[in-house]
Amino acid sequence: GAVVSQHPSWVICKSGTSVKIECRSLDFQATTMFWYRQFPKKSLMLMATSNEGSKATYEQGVEKDKFLINHASLTLSTLTVTSAHPEDSSFYICSATGLAVEETQYFGPGTRLLVL
């Protein structure tokens, strides 16, 4: 199957700093990427949908100024958690889909963020 990578896999940061997470589709062009957040033992919560070259569409309750999403190319989307606080600590997962894999989401391995 198609491969999606995330970097970093683990990040620990101080409160007030910003953290950037990258999501890359390695072997297909991802016209759409999704960002999810998952709390311990909980389901995935869709944060935003990102289409290449356009602004991300955020789900209700997700602060767009807090979680900046950029999808500048067909293989890369970034999520920046700005001025991170301990309550932002979570597991962030991206997924990607494209014309070649249109009905299937391919997920990245996730990034665990811990804000101290």
Q: Is 25 exposed, middle or buried (0-12, 13-18, 19+ CB in 10 A)?
A: buried
Write each residue from 82 to 101 as x if it is in contact with another protein (CB under 8 A), else as -, in one continuous string.
Answer: ---------x-x-x-x----
Q: Give the shortest CB-83-to-another protein separation in angstroms.
A: 26
Map the footprint of another protein across residues 26-85, applying CB under 8 A. Answer: 32, 34, 41-44, 46, 49
Tell which one of 15, 104, 114, 116 touches another protein (CB under 8 A): 104
Q: Give the shortest CB-72-to-another protein separation in angstroms.
A: 21
Q: Give the shortest CB-114-to-another protein separation in angstroms.
A: 12
Handedness of CA 12, 15, 19, 21 (dihedral sign): positive
Contacts of 37-44 with C-beta under 8 Å, sequence gap 24+, read 37/90, 37/91, 37/92, 37/93, 38/90, 38/91, 38/92, 38/93, 38/110, 39/90, 39/91, 40/91, 44/93
Interacting residue ranges for another protein, rule: CB under 8 A: 1, 6, 32, 34, 41-44, 46, 49, 91, 93, 95, 97, 102-110, 112
